[in-house]
Structures are given as C-alpha cells and as structure tokens.
Amino acid sequence: MSGAVVLEARAIVKRFGGVTALADVSFDLRAGEVHALCGENGAGKSTLIKLLAGVHPQGSYTGDIRIEGREARFQSTRDAERAGIAIIHQELALFPGMSVGENLFLGALPCRFGLIAWDKVYAQAISVLADCGIRLDPAARLGDLGVGQQQLVEIARAVARQPRILVLDEPTAALSQHEIDTLLALIRRLRARGVACIYISHKLDEVFAIADRITVLRDGAVQGTRDVSDTNAADIIRLMVGRPIEDLYPRRVAESGATLLALRHVSVAARRHAPAVLQDISFEVAAGEVLGIGGLMGAGRTELLMHMVGHWGVRTAGEVELNGQRCDVRSPQQALQRGLALVTEDRKRYGLVLPQSVLFNLSLSSLAGMRRGPFLNKNLEAERAKSIVAELRIRVHALEQPVATLSGGNQQKVVLGKVLLTAPEVLLLDEPTRGIDVGAKLEVYELINRLTRAGKAVVLVSSELGELLGMSDRIVMLCEGRVGGTFTRAQATQEILLAAAMGRTREVA
C-alpha cells in the first residue's frame, strides 16, 4: 500500500544551549502510510515536528531533511506549508465566534468585489466536509460544537489545503471514542489517497489501530522503527521507557473503610432556573477505595467534579455527604477546608499559575497553614515543597524555576503536589494522566495506590477505559448527565462500559 519515500530526515542533531534535544535522528515517511511517533514527553517528538514545520529554521540544526528527494530549506512555517506539510497541533487554533465555514477558509476566504462571497464559502465548506466524511453544518457557530467536533474541523481545515504530508500531534487527547473512530476513518481515507501521515499519540491502542510503522524516540534518539505487524504494545513500551513494564496498571486493592463521600440523587443545573444538566446521580466512595467515573465527552464528568467542590452549577435536588455530614460547599476554598480536593483536567487553565515558580504553585493551596503571625513562614513553605518534590519525584533543577518550563508530566505532578499539600481526605482526579508519558503515568498510578493505602478515597475520572478498568475498584459510567451503569471491577469489561456510556444498559450492580 505504501509507496515512495516522501520525507527523509537524516542524522538530525538539534541542540538548545547545552541540551541535546535530538541526537542523530534519522526517519523516513512514505506516501500512503501512517507512521506513528512514540516516546515519553521530552523524548524529542515535538522538536522533530517543529523542524518539519519550519518553526526551527534550517541552520539551527545539523543533518538534512529531504522532501521527495529535494533538500528542504525551511526558514519559516510558511515555507513548510508551501512544501505541502500540514500540522495539526494539540491545542486548537480556531475561532469559536465564527462559523465552521469561516474557520475552514480563514486567511483565504473567497471574495467577490472585495466582499466575502458567502455562497462560495458554504459551497466549498460542504464539499470539504463531505470529502472528510464529517457531517456538520458549515454555518454552525464553531463555539457551539463539542471539542471533538472542533478538532475534526481543524483537521478538515488542514485537509482543505491538500497537503502531501499531514502531521497529527496528539489529535485524540480531547476526543470521545466515537469521535476517535471518525478521525481514524478520515486518516484511513487520506492514506488511501496517498497522503503520508505522521501520527503522534500516547494511546498505544490507537497507534496500533491506525499506524503502518512505529518509530520510538527516547532521550532524543531513535530506539527503533517497527512494522506494526512485527511488534506489540509491550515491545513498544519497552523501547519507550527502556525497561519492561509488566503491569501498566499496578492497582493494589486496599482495605476499604468507612464511606467518606456519598452523593444521593444529585441533580445540578448550570445556573438557577436552567434545566438540570446532571440528573439523579448517586454513588459512594469509601476510605481506601478508587471509584472510576467514565463516559463520553459531554457526559458531565468534569461538571460533576467541579460542582462537588463548589466551582460549577446550582444543585436542584439531592445531597452530597462528606464524612457523614452534609457538604454544600460554595467554593473550592471551602471544599479544601473540608478535605475535598480537586485535581483539574486542564492544567494550564485551572491548574497552574504558569508565569510563577514551582514553589509558588506547590504552596498556593496550603498557604493559610503556613503562617507565622501575619507573615508567610517561608522556611516551612520551602521544607514542605521540597518534601513533596522528592515524594512525587518531580524533576526540577530549582524550586524557583518557572513552572511553565517543566514538561507536561512534571507540571501535572506539580498540580498533584499542590493538592496533596492540603492533606485532603477525598481526592477528585479529573483525567490525571492526560497527555503525560508512560513513566509519569505509572508514577501517578502508584501515587493513587499509596493514597488509598493511607485511607484516602479517590474519585478517578478518565476517558481511557483501560485506565478505568485497571485502576478502579468500582466504576460509574455517566451518559448524558445520568448514571448509565455502576459496575464492580470484576463485572466490567471494555464492551460493558462502552455500552453503558452510550446508554444501552441498565444498572448491573
């Protein structure tokens, strides 16, 4: 199926100051193939992509990049675009206030007499969307669509430019299973047409579902390139982390104690007099337990957690109990005071004060307990921060390093550390391993085990079914704001969970 080599990178070395980001990387891409790039965060995937995108201009690295045999001399991202390379970044670069059609052609909107020719915009949009197999109204306002659909629009925009090389950087991080399927189908279509794709993802099941070849990077060096038919997940993970990982989900069931958190028939509306978004939600979590919460995008998982800590919505019915007492907190501050802590999904938006230091971010939630008179006890602050950095193995050169300079996995650990410093009884973790590498994931799982062993209760929200199955003692699947099913670890399988998320089963346990 795959054809001639369209892109070849040879002996690439890229340094940032004294740090070698890419050490002698060679890589090739053939027409009509999907070539997956795997590696932990910091392995050099993004740097390689940035060279291909023209972000790091020619001359800032050694080695050469050839596109269809000709040496590519990219000085800017425009040069790369002209050479037929389209890159879809993890973060969306779209305009929520504009229509789907406008987003597709922004920068090259068809005009007539200096005015936008709307009929042409929509006609072309319809053909592009149809071409991609996406069913969307081109006049719909982008902001009204779900994140997954927005991601598809972003991809359609890249496809509209008819690239020969398409680079997808973690395209499914925010997508539900259904949307992932649509995306993978779209990639297969493009592949059949001879487009070459570089596919970066942390989700190995996806990689195996779509890729023809897999190249693994570690510490800026290529560990190997394998045909998918000749390899398996364990092999790839071994290449990624440099050691075998027997069990990706090291859940150790702890002894469960008294019920710490209970929701009874809780319904929540976005605001007063609005219809309830979450309806009749009930579950319990005991000390030492991990309760998994799953569901498709938009099922209300994040809203539920945000509501429990008082940051979202108005409760219209039911009650939340914490340690056997009613818990109607009105702000995350009150929630923390009662021992209920949330680790949010979107680190950059809700988790971190990016311009500030690691120390600043770690201590932010627990400053009230570090006073000496009216002043901050900086000795105590530094002591606690140091101990949590050691405990979570956060890789920093200095506590005063800006948190923005850390890798995704380490940033996530800072958010976890900040919450742990408040000594919570119940932890709500919203996608704690999203976008972080395998090594950091394992550390998060081990942390969850340590917490439950110490008698804490954990609520784990995840869109990865494997993670839910591997780490939860019980699993609640949400479906459009309602409980679609509650399962014990023994009962659950991927199929059962997915069916519940789509509203096709009744409660089993």
User: Please, what is the minimum distance in Å from the beta carbon of residue 304 to other proteins?
Assistant: 15
326 or 397: CB nearest other proteins: 397
How far is the C-alpha of 477 from the C-alpha of 462, rounded, in Å?
10
48 or 329: CB nearest other proteins: 329
Binds other proteins by CB under 8 A, chosen from 60, 232, 333, 494: 333
Q: Segment 456-475, which members bind other proteins (CB under 8 A)?
A: none
At residue 103, the 3 state secondary structure works out as helix
DSSP annotation of 141:
B
**CA-angle at 462, arms to 458 and 468, nearest 5°:** 75
Told to check if 258 binds other proteins by CB under 8 A, we report no
Distance between first and last Cα of the chain? 48
Which of these ranges, 175-183, 325-333, 387-395, 500-508, lies near other proteins under the rule CB under 8 A?
A: 325-333
Told to check if 309 binds other proteins by CB under 8 A, we report yes
**CA-angle at 349, arms to 345 and 355, nearest 5°:** 125
Told to check if 350 binds other proteins by CB under 8 A, we report yes
User: Please, what is the minimum distance in Å from the beta carbon of residue 42 to other proteins?
Assistant: 23
How far is the C-alpha of 485 from the C-alpha of 479, rounded, in Å?
9
Told to check if 441 binds other proteins by CB under 8 A, we report no
Rg of the chain over CA atoms, in angstroms?
24
Told to check if 476 binds other proteins by CB under 8 A, we report no
Binds other proteins by CB under 8 A, chosen from 35, 157, 311, 413: 311
Residues paired with 217 in a beta bridge? 222
Closest Cα partner for 155 from 127, 186, 130?
186
Are 21 and 15 in contact, with CB atoms under 8 Å apart?
Answer: yes
Which of these ranges, 61-69, 107-115, 350-358, 446-454, lies near other proteins under the rule CB under 8 A?
A: 350-358
> Strand ranges (DSSP E) for 78-152?
85-88, 111-112, 115-116
- Give residue 133's identity as a one-letter amino acid code: G
82 or 371: CB nearest other proteins: 371
42 or 310: CB nearest other proteins: 310
262 or 336: CB nearest other proteins: 336
User: Please, what is the minimum distance in Å from the beta carbon of residue 460 to other proteins?
Assistant: 18
At residue 146, the 3 state secondary structure works out as coil
267 or 363: CB nearest other proteins: 363
The long-range contacts involving 351-355, CB below 8 angstroms and separated by at least 24 positions, are 351/411, 351/412, 351/415, 352/403, 352/404, 352/411, 352/414, 352/415, 353/403, 354/402, 354/403, 354/404, 355/402, 355/404
Q: Segment 391-430, which members bind other proteins (CB under 8 A)?
A: 398-400, 418, 422
Told to check if 356 binds other proteins by CB under 8 A, we report yes
User: Please, what is the minimum distance in Å from the beta carbon of residue 421 to other proteins?
Assistant: 11
Binds other proteins by CB under 8 A, chosen from 26, 76, 282, 331: 331
Number of H helices, E strands in the chain: 16, 24
Told to check if 355 binds other proteins by CB under 8 A, we report yes
How far is the C-alpha of 485 from the C-alpha of 267, rounded, in Å?
17
6 or 335: CB nearest other proteins: 335
User: Please, what is the minimum distance in Å from the beta carbon of residue 377 to other proteins?
Assistant: 10
Binding pattern for the stretch 364-393 against other proteins, x by CB under 8 A and - elsewhere = xx-xx-xx--xxx-xx--xx--x-------
80 or 370: CB nearest other proteins: 370
At residue 287, the 3 state secondary structure works out as coil
Binds other proteins by CB under 8 A, chosen from 279, 363, 410, 452: 363
398 or 490: CB nearest other proteins: 398
Size of the site for other proteins (CB under 8 A): 39
User: Please, what is the minimum distance in Å from the beta carbon of residue 61 to other proteins?
Assistant: 23
Told to check if 82 binds other proteins by CB under 8 A, we report no
> DSSP characters for 156-215?
HHHHHT--SEEEEESTTTT--HHHHHHHHHHHHHHHHTT-EEEEE-S-HHHHHHH-SEEE
Told to check if 336 binds other proteins by CB under 8 A, we report yes
Residues engaged in binding other proteins (CB under 8 A): 309, 311, 331-333, 335-337, 342, 344, 349-356, 360, 363-365, 367-368, 370-371, 374-376, 378-379, 382-383, 386, 398-400, 418, 422
